């Protein structure tokens, strides 16, 4: 969901309703003035990293106060340089599950060694599931669930490796669910719960996915715009107001396709993208925010095959409600509620029962 969008208020509120509340672990210091004061002027990535670890600890504990008996997960991107430390912090702080995507989390079992915590990888196709299962099973580990994310509909960083692959049929839910369940049978293992993600915005779509064999669904955009969402209301309204023609797919600094609303900053960037990528060179590159947040960053590394902007700064601007400068990740499909911001309860009530609040 981007920087700071799904923190303790949203995760705790979702968990309180009996669903899985997920904290997005990236740059959570944005919610803490004391941690920002300690790190904003620092050029030491380790100082910034330590502040973010402290923020994650606070967020998990704050979510737990909202939902003492709820299920709290932490999402950590494999593409983030500090992903292993964030995983360990989540374990130490009492999270119930680790969700990891944006790269194959082949070493996630090692990161969580010694902790009783659910492991939930995010994958996009049956090939990725097969690779991960074979690697994990050699270690005597299987996922507690698998999230299958369709890049045709999802927001933020997408599971396809190249933009032209986003609409490939191998990501469609019907053949994907059937293929992964066949893989379980071929490997002679008990079927692992499959959670689908991307484009779920109606009671009917949820029922259809259950009929296809899904065990659950993951929501991003629909929860991001709720009353309890941790982002500024400008962020929420920007996502709600976006029309189909306002939503674009582009190449992020992580080298992965991403989807967002074409707000003023993104519109200007896309007009200059080809020129900026042509000018990219390792000898002229450096980290603009000093956080060294990504393992591989096109902007920091001077890599012309990836985006050329500081993704951390643009996502921070978005969560704070800066419409002019922010990068606003959003899924492709229409909103459940198209007019205003609703509470988490209304979203779950509609998806589970079909009853839609006014």
Spans of all domains in the chain: 8-232
pLDDT score at 291? 65
Handedness of CA 105, 217, 225, 17 (dihedral sign): negative
HSE value, Cβ hemisphere, 13 Å, CA-based, for 324: 0
Using one digit for the tens of pLDDT, what is the confidence trace for 304-351? 998 999 888 999 999 999 999 999 999 999 999 988 899 999 999 999
pLDDT at 12 > cutoff 90: yes
Using one digit for the tens of pLDDT, what is the confidence trace for 83-98? 999 999 999 999 999 9
Q: Are 95 and 60 in contact (CB under 8 A)?
A: yes
| Residues 283, 78: Cα–Cα separation, whole Å | 26
pLDDT at 1 > cutoff 90: no
HSE value, Cβ hemisphere, 13 Å, CA-based, for 151: 26
* Lowest mean pLDDT across 32-36, 69-73, 203-207, 299-303: 299-303
Band (pLDDT 50/70/90 cuts) for residue 2 is low
| Residues 329, 259: Cα–Cα separation, whole Å | 6
Average of per-residue pLDDT across 233-245: 96
| Residues 221, 155: Cα–Cα separation, whole Å | 7
| β-sheet bridge partners, residue 261 | 247, 328
pLDDT score at 158? 86
Using one digit for the tens of pLDDT, what is the confidence trace for 111-141? 999 999 999 999 989 999 999 999 999 999 9
* Lowest mean pLDDT across 30-44, 102-116, 243-257: 30-44
pLDDT score at 78? 87
pLDDT score at 286? 79
| Residues 26, 254: Cα–Cα separation, whole Å | 14
Q: Are 264 and 324 in contact (CB under 8 A)?
A: yes
Average of per-residue pLDDT across 6-15: 97
pLDDT score at 40? 80
Band (pLDDT 50/70/90 cuts) for residue 235 is very high
Other CB atoms within a 10 A radius of the CB of residue 211 amount to 9
| β-sheet bridge partners, residue 218 | 197
Average of per-residue pLDDT across 228-233: 96
pLDDT at 142 > cutoff 80: yes
Average pLDDT over the chain reads 92
> Would you give the DSSP letter of residue 47?
H
pLDDT score at 170? 87
Q: Are 150 and 101 in contact (CB under 8 A)?
A: no
Average of per-residue pLDDT across 60-88: 94
pLDDT at 357 > cutoff 90: no
The answer for residues whose C-beta is within 8 angstroms of residue 212's C-beta and 6 or more apart is 173, 174, 177, 178
Tokens of 71: 């299920």
pLDDT at 105 > cutoff 80: yes
Q: Are 328 and 260 in contact (CB under 8 A)?
A: yes
Q: Is 41 helix (H, G, I), strand (E, B) or coil?
A: coil
Q: Which CATH superfamily is domain 8-232 in?
A: Aldolase class I (3.20.20.70)
Q: Is 102 helix (H, G, I), strand (E, B) or coil?
A: coil
pLDDT at 24 > cutoff 60: yes
Q: What percent of the chain has pLDDT over 70?
A: 98
pLDDT score at 91? 97
Q: Which of 122, 123, 100, 96 is nearest to 111 (CA)?
A: 100
Q: Are 346 and 16 in contact (CB under 8 A)?
A: no
Distances from the Cα of 141 to the Cαs of 86, 134, 208, in angstroms? 21, 10, 31
Using one digit for the tens of pLDDT, what is the confidence trace for 250-287? 999 988 899 999 999 999 999 999 999 999 888 877 77
């Amino acid at each position: 969901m981007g920087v700071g969008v799904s923190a303790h208020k949203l995760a705790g509120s979702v968990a309180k309703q009996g669903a899985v509340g997920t904290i997005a672990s990236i740059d959570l210091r944005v919610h803490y003035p004391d941690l920002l004061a300690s790190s904003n002027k620092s050029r030491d990535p380790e100082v910034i990293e330590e502040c973010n670890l402290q923020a994650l600890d606070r967020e998990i504990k704050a979510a737990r106060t909202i939902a003492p008996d709820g299920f709290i997960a932490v999402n950590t991107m494999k593409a983030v340089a500090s992903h292993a430390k964030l995983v360990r912090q989540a374990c130490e702080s009492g999270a119930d599950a680790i969700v990891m995507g944006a790269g194959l989390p082949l070493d996630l079992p090692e990161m969580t060694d010694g902790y009783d915590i659910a492991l939930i990888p995010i994958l996009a196709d049956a090939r990725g599931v097969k690779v991960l299962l074979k690697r994990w099973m050699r270690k005597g580990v299987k996922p507690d669930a698998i999230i299958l994310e369709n890049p045709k509909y999802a927001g933020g960083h997408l599971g396809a490796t190249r933009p032209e692959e986003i609409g490939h049929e191998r990501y469609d839910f019907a053949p994907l669910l059937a293929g992964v369940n066949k893989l379980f049978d071929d490997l002679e293992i008990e079927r692992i719960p499959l959670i689908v993600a991307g484009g779920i915005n109606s009671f009917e779509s949820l029922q259809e996915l259950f009929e296809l064999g899904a065990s659950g669904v993951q929501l991003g955009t629909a929860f991001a715009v709720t009353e309890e969402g941790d982002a500024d209301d400008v962020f929420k309204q920007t996502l709600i107001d976006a029309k189909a023609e306002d939503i674009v797919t582009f190449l992020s600094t992580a080298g992965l396709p991403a989807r967002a609303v074409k707000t003023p900053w993104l519109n200007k960037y896309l007009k200059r993208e080809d020129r900026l990528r042509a000018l990219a060179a390792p000898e002229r590159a450096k980290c603009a925010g000093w956080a060294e947040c990504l393992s591989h960053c096109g902007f920091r590394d001077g890599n012309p095959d990836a985006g050329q902007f500081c993704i951390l700064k643009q996502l921070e601007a978005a969560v704070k409600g800066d419409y002019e400068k922010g990068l606003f990740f959003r899924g492709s499909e229409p909103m459940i509620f198209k007019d205003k911001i609703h509470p988490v309860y209304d979203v779950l009530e509609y998806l589970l029962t079909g009853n839609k609040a006014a």
